[in-house]
Structure 1
Amino acid sequence: MELKIRKYSWQLAPSAIREIRQTVFIDEQGVPAELEWDDTDEISDHYIGVLPDNTPVAVARLVPSVTDLGRIGRMAILKEHRGQGFGEQMLRHVMQEASGQFDQLHLSAQEYAVPFYEKLGFHVCSTPYDDAGIPHLDMRCLATPQILADDSAPVFPTLLGKDDTTWHFNSEQDHLNLMDTVAGQASHRIWLYDRLLDHEIYDRERLRDIFSEMARRHRICEIRLLVHDDKPLVQRRHQLIQLMKRLPSKIELRLVNTDYPGEEQAFLIADREGIAYRHRFDSLEGWARFADPGRVKLQAEAFQRMWETARPSLELRELPL
């Protein structure tokens, strides 16, 4: 059954939005009322899903931010209407509305609901924490436009270790979204190989934050950056290099030894499952795979051969913080 989904400001929202949240979160789940109702409601877009006879059954809200980040929250389906696909309809609708506004979407998921959000491309990006006495995890989606545009997208799209399809890209934004989604799910290894750390591709706040989060969350992990040319790094304060200066035990950069043949394709590998691959250094065409241990093993072996003969960056030593 198809829901009709409508959007409101808090000031104009029908009483059913508050009633559904009261029923699900406060009455059913025991969330204290003072935590359920907050000032964020005033600045959020609120969505309500109704049946063809206009019976309200589901709600959600979208919280804007001053950055390119939107937060989906307060998703609730009345108990008697669960298991009919209404939650997915609501989430997909809000994602569609948000995809043109925000660079990434975040949400706080109750632990039991994580698989539900994974089915639409969200991945876990935190350790478990308590919220109103209920275990939660933070989740994010960095490739919303690509996921929504692919009618044949698999269950668990872009999920590391579960999605074995190939995601093609031929534009800068598609490339960045898919590469960041690969990197954002790594737990112990990110190996990056390119001709240089191009500012348009790598000197970005979102990628810096992904690397920083991995280093903070995982005690044993490594980020290796392997490039041919490090001179552009001194032109301005490259965000990855500044991060490397602060986390020298987690992030290392080396230069390819020109006496040994190197790969002609740029790639990033995450753990032993994920890879984002460009066909040429000067091209934005390529693909990403999230569960391809065979290909990742081959690229990791090629990376390791280049890494073992590579040398430290002299330019980097002179780069001030």
Structure 2
Amino acid sequence: MSRIRIREASWPADREALEAVRCEVFIKEQNVPRTLEFDGLDATALHWLALAEDHEPVGTLRLLPSGQIGRMAVLPAYRGRKIGSRLLHHAIAAAEAHGWHEVWLNAQHTRRSFYAPHGFIVISDVFEDAGIPHQRMLRRLHRSMAMAS
């Protein structure tokens, strides 16, 4: 199994790589319209990129200033390697470092069980987004005593 590296990404500098993964997963695989996938919020978000040993982009995730985690995507050939969990860990750690009290996401209904072990709880009824059933999930964050001072 190849070694995957996760790094913080910059929308201006890494846009092509971030878009490539999201296009493959959301637009091609899940038939999300491009206008919904690229909603104009990426320039304000923090981004992470998962890279294979050959520097091929294989996963991504963004964190908006509102505390919303989203656009997590891992290419099919790389799923099952805990890349999504690692991306999520980076976003949660960044939110905690910023002193935020909670993060939230709109989980695809079939993916809720992925987020639950990471401390997310369902806080909404099922709703449709881009033709896919979702539920909002929330995770309260724990700040260290040093940060709380």
Fold shared, TM-score > 0.5 on shorter chain:
yes
- Partner Cα separation in structure 1 for residue 9 and residue 80 of structure 2: 25
Match of 1:100?
A: 97
Alpha-carbon contact 1:60-1:90 (below 8 Å) kept: yes
Match of 2:114?
A: 116
Amino acid at match of 1:126: S
Count of paired positions? 144
- Listed as ranges, the matches of 1:122-271 within 5 Å are 122-145=120-143
Cα 1:93–1:105, aligned 2, differ >3 Å: closer, same or farther? same
Amino acid at match of 1:92: H
- Higher strand proportion: 2
**1:127-159 per-position Cα deviation (integer Å, ceiling 9, x unaligned):** 10000100000001003558xxxxxxxxxxxxx
Three-state SS of the structure 1 residue aligned to 2:11 is coil
Three-state SS of the structure 2 residue aligned to 1:84 is coil
Alpha-carbon contact 1:13-1:46 (below 8 Å) kept: no
What fraction of aligned residue pairs are identical, expressed as a percent? 38
Structure 2 stretches of 5 or more lacking a match?
none
State the shift of 1:112 in Å. Answer: 0.6
The normalised TM-score by structure 1 is: 0.43
- Partner Cα separation in structure 1 for residue 25 and residue 142 of structure 2: 27
Alpha-carbon contact 1:125-1:140 (below 8 Å) kept: yes
Match of 2:84?
A: 87
- Partner Cα separation in structure 2 for residue 143 and residue 11 of structure 1: 29
The normalised TM-score by structure 2 is: 0.89
Amino acid at match of 2:119: G
Alpha-carbon contact 1:9-1:45 (below 8 Å) kept: yes
**1:65-111 per-position Cα deviation (integer Å, ceiling 9, x unaligned):** 3xxxx111000000111111111111111111211211110111000
Does 1 or 2 have the higher relative contact order (CA < 8 Å, sep 6+)? 2
State the 4+ residue runs in structure 1 displaced beyond 2 angstroms: 143-146
Larger radius of gyration: 1
